[in-house]
Amino acid sequence: MEQHLNFIRQTRKNFIQLLERCSIEELNQVPEGFNNNIIWNFGHIITSQQGLCYTLSGLTPKIAPSYINTYKKGTKPEVFIGQEEIDELKKLALSLIDELEEDLKNQVFTGYNSFTTSYGVTLNTTQDAVQFFPIHDSYHYGCAWAIKRIITKN
């Protein structure tokens, strides 16, 4: 698990570096042909981790329900995300992985409701979810980079 958690942390650090190279307007811009933006992709990886690890284990997520409602699968950007929320998301991206690591060590995940992702992978345990996140986070990091490239060209 430690190696998977390190992969997740590194992808999130890379994502944060991308955020820091963008203006707040770029983070919120939805290019033509897209249904989301850079900051939505970033918020989505955070809320997905909480849902797939905690909610499916029958535990309460460690983030505000407003974040889940804003960034969960099936949502799209509805409002301009300000600097305060961006800064909070950057903190959560790494601190929640540290908390997850502690919870895994303390064996707080005792049950799991199996779930098949839109990627076609069935998760049967929290450990499966942790192993899935490097793929999931990297996909959304790639989407964010594509959006940045399109924005920069225009």
pLDDT given for residue 83 in this prediction:
97
Residues 32 and 48: their CA atoms lie apart, in Å, by 25
- What letter represents residue 144's amino acid? A
* β partners of residue 115: 123
For the segment 123-136, what is each residue's pLDDT rounded down to a tens digit? 999 999 999 999 99
Percent of the chain with pLDDT over 90: 97
CATH architecture of 2-153: Up-down Bundle (1.20)
pLDDT given for residue 61 in this prediction:
97
pLDDT given for residue 154 in this prediction:
65
pLDDT band at 1 (very low <50, low <70, confident <90, very high): confident
Tokens of 144: 């964010």
How much is the average pLDDT of 100-125? 96
Residue 56, pLDDT > 90, answer yes
Closest CA relative to residue 56, chosen from 116, 118, 1? 116
* β partners of residue 123: 115
For the segment 60-103, what is each residue's pLDDT rounded down to a tens digit? 999 999 999 999 999 999 999 999 999 999 999 999 999 999 99
Residues 32 and 132: their CA atoms lie apart, in Å, by 30
